[in-house]
Structure 1
Amino acid sequence: MRKRVDKASTPATASHLQGAAREVTEEKLLPSPWRRWLKRGLLACCAIFTIEIQYMLPDLTPRVVYSYGIRLPFFADLTQPAELSLNHTVNMYLTPEEGVSVGVWHTVPESQWKEAQGKDLAWYQNSLGNGSPVVIYLHGNGGTRAATHRVGVANLLSALGYHALVLDYRGFADSSGRPTEAGLTTDALYLYQWVKAHCGDSLVVIWGQSIGTGVATNTAVKLLEQGKVVDGVILEAAFTNTQEEAADPMSWLFKKVPSFGFLNTIADNSVFPSDDNLRKMRSSILFLYSEDDTIVPTRMSQQLYQIAQSVQNPDRVKMVSFSGSHGYKHNGLYKDPQTPGIVKMFMQSL
């Protein structure tokens, strides 16, 4: 005799089990004291992080952009430039604003080497009025004015018969204060005005390298707002602005801190808008860059060159690129035997 099977009992049993599972799941998801405390703890951590990041970013952003605070080369006595083969150079300090002191080296033309021996600050200051062109050098991020390539630029300019003034911005090297875009621009502007007060009608050119190109264009625009046009500006390894550089995967800033663009936006800091500045500037400009630069994308120099040429007489805007086969990368253009001639030709065109 066949056993009778009630088919309706199967779905009823499955439905019962599914309902029981839902009840168990819902019971597990119900708030419990420990779960409430966990939520409160997470909310508290988020609040603390938000507050902390607001305090950290103003300090974090400058340290990422400027890489200041480490005095390279180590053990260099910045008060004794003669120890670094600059024996016709004086070390001095200027005060661009209350509470801020910045270190500056003044190297006189090579032709005054013998006369400069043993001279004091007053002699160097007076020498600015001898009619020789003056170049204010605004270096890039990290290190000090004693870095090899910065000493190399000072010697190059001196050999050409120019005065070279190399500035360490606030927060760098032995300069006091903390670097910001406005602060660096103030330092450069003050040095320019100090030079103009002592050099008479001599030609004054600003040479910016890397982050110094942003300082240079900022300074030129500030002076233009005062009705003053800088005689000439040299931009070596220039970038468009820090926001665009931070977004470029080929840039040093992106490689070092991929999220910098976001952090910098929150901190509302450090833009250096050379692209916008060049649309306002009326100075003669020379762009220099090496094709193997791994710090700043070379396309940015090309982009800035095109902007500058579009807003003023193209004859007043020059660009020279150096083959990557030389291995100059970001800091080595001063080594090229053609560089002195390129700089001299630009200076003579002013």
Structure 2
Amino acid sequence: MLSTVNKRRLLPGKRRLRKLGPPSRSHEDERGPAGQVGAGSTCALGVAPRGRPRLGAGPPCSGRAIGPPARAGVAGGSGPARALPAAAFGQLRCTGPERKEHEAAGRAGGGGGRLPGQGQRRPRRTGRGGGRQGPAAGGRVSRPPVQASALPSPPVRFGDASAAGRRELSLLGRGAQWVEPGLAEGGSGRSRSARGPAYLAGGLLGYLPNLKIKRLLVNLFILYASFPFMVRLFPSLLRKFVYLNFLSYPFGVDFQKPELYVNHTTNFYLTSEPGITFGIWHALPDTRWKEAEGKDRSWHEEALADDNPIIIYLHGNGGNRATGHRVRFTQSMSDGGFHVLAVDYRGYADSTGQPSETGFTTDILYLYHWVKARSGNSTVIFWGHSLGTGISTNVARALKEKEGVIVDAVVLEAPYTNMRDAAATIPVTKIYRKFPGFDYLILDTMALAGMYFRNDKNVQVMSSPILILHSEDDCMIPISQGEKLYEIAHNASQKKETIQFIPFPTSKGFGHDHISSNPELPTILKNFLQSVK
């Protein structure tokens, strides 16, 4: 006999039954063989689906099992989780037209018309001894409970994530086993606790990650759609994304000690306007290294007049003069016999002020005049990379138009035709090229932000020799823009031989930033200078 505690465990209250509700499938729709938990395979008389009798006699049942099964393993001790048959649940009843037939069968079997799952009436006490009536006295005999340990453990399929399947797992409790497909058929499935995987299969924990992903996607879409409008309303925001001066990598550089990066290099500053100071590294040619030991800053200024060519290096956006490929360029050209002045524009690195196209032009004009005042007859070259190509042609054009000065040579590494064309082709804007109003919201905003950098217009005015270097595998600024700029400059120049274009094949792997790693670069520049004299 089950104890009172066990009966309470096996017979949940009406409130719990009302809350959980009945399973949603009939016996024939449930899983597993007849008589197992979750299968709903027997009615209160133990009749199996499809007419297979079990634990009793009676017609096949087409009704539904009502009420939750008890926790597995309650009546069976502390052993492994076992399933209970429907006859032992105590809350399973038949519905439909077969109910009367089942009740009649119960009366014929001595059950008094009660279904076994409905519980038994307490026997009457007779005699002074208070004994219970036995079968001979006409008393009813309660059917002994079926022990859960004697029944097989039902496999619950991992792949079944229906509402009925989840309800059955929750009713089975912690002791139920979740079996992946293949285990019941002798496969290699793995059994887990029903608590975690059940939720992951279709429960709350499985729903929350999907909800978070949906929210993330919605937030990303809102950010994507709102960015062009934010740029149009606040053009200064676009300047930040173009100049990237806030990304001053590598971080933590001591610009006062350039010798840590390039041999025989000094650091100094110039003031182009009140409150505007920009930093410069001056790397000597390799032929002057031994002389430079122990010398002060004034000696380095005088060394600019030693007839070695002088390169004013104008870098691209982001980073500073200590960035890897810029240091390699400075070292390579210094080894090749050139003075190199690597500049950080206003707003970059340790330079003061805010970046702007007109401010860049003002700073480099000041630097050019400072160099010419100390260089004597030495050749002065503008070398611009990426963003720096627009700065170099702006300065060269301003010198010719305002002062009638022609720069000795201009080298354009990975150039663009103008900033608008560059913004339309760089990978960052690729996701917006199909966006409605892309030209108006982003490209036209370049002008509102004061960013033009018209290389295509400048080279038509300049009279300086121009060398264009571009790599075929440049993914930032396609080589087609360098080729187009070459055609414009070549058609506008009266001296066609002074306009040269050198492409680098994809096999070199130079990309956008690493033409400076070409060991032949000093020789290429020297040959160009010889050809334009």
Q: TM-score range by the shorter chain?
A: 0.7 to 0.9
User: Alpha-carbon deviation of 1:130?
Assistant: 1.3
Q: 1:146 is matched with which residue? A: 322
Q: What is residue 57 of structure 1 aligned with on the other side?
A: 235
Alignment of 1:1-350 (within 5 A): 56-58=234-236, 60-84=237-261, 86-225=262-401, 226-248=403-425, 251-252=426-427, 254-255=429-430, 259=438, 260-265=442-447, 267-312=448-493, 313-349=495-531, 350=533
Q: Give the CA deviation at 1:66.
A: 0.8
Partners of 2:520 and 2:280 in 1: CA distance:
27
d(CA) in 1 for partners of 2:296 and 2:427? 41
CA distance in 2, matches of 1:285, 1:304: 11
2: CA distance between counterparts of 1:256 and 1:130? 51
Tell me how far 1:268 sits from its aligned partner: 4.2
CA distance in structure 2 between the aligned counterparts of 1:134 and 1:256, rounded to whole angstroms = 42
Shift of 1:334: 1.6
| Number of the residue aligned with 1:33 | none
Structure 1 letter corresponding to 2:492: V
Q: Distance in 2 between matches of 1:79 and 1:291?
A: 37
Deviation, 1:120, is 1.7
User: Per-residue deviation at 1:138?
Assistant: 0.4
- SS of the residue 2:523 aligns to: helix
- Count of residue pairs brought into register by the alignment: 296
What per-residue deviation string (whole Å, max 9, x for no partner) do you get for residues 253-286 of structure 1? 5248755314324x24211000000110100010
3-state SS of 1:128 partner: helix
The verdict on how the C-alpha distance between 1:269 and 1:257 changes in structure 2, with shifts beyond 3 A counting, is farther
TM-score, normalised via structure 1 length: 0.81
Q: Separation in 1 of the partners of 2:230 and 2:481?
A: 35
User: For residues 170 and 257 of structure 1, what CA distance do their matches in structure 2 show?
Assistant: 30
| TM superposition score normalised by structure 2 | 0.54
Cα deviation, 1:54-96, whole Å, max 9, x if unaligned, reads: 87322x1221111111221122211111111x12111000011
Give 3-state SS (helix, strand or coil) of 2:305's partner.
coil
Contact 2:276 2:351 in 1 (8 A): yes
Q: Report which structure shows greater RCO (CA 8 Å, sep ≥6).
A: 1
What is the letter of the counterpart of residue 414 of structure 2? A
Q: Which structure has the larger Rg?
A: 2
Does the 8 Å CA contact 1:160/1:344 hold for their aligned counterparts? Answer: no
Counterpart for residue 17 of structure 1: none
* 8 Å contact from structure 2 (residues 281, 343) kept in 1: yes
Q: Deviations over 1:132-168 (max 9, x none)?
A: 1111000000000001111111112211211110100
Q: Cα 1:252–1:93, aligned 2, differ >3 Å: closer, same or farther?
A: farther
Amino acid at match of 1:343: L
Give per-residue Cα distances to partners, 1:98-148, cap 9 Å, x unaligned. 110000011111111122123221111111111211110000000000011
CA positional deviation for 1:336: 1.9
Contact 2:412 2:469 in 1 (8 A): yes
**Change over 3 Å in CA distance of 1:256–1:153 after alignment to 2:** farther
Whole-Å Cα distance in 1 between the matches of residues 238 and 264 of structure 2? 37
Q: Is the 8 A contact 1:205 1:231 kept in 2?
A: yes
SS of the residue 2:513 aligns to: coil
Q: Hey, what's the Cα distance between the residues in 2 that align with 1:54 and 1:177?
A: 24
- Secondary structure of the equivalent of 1:135? strand
Q: Which structure has greater helix proportion?
A: 1
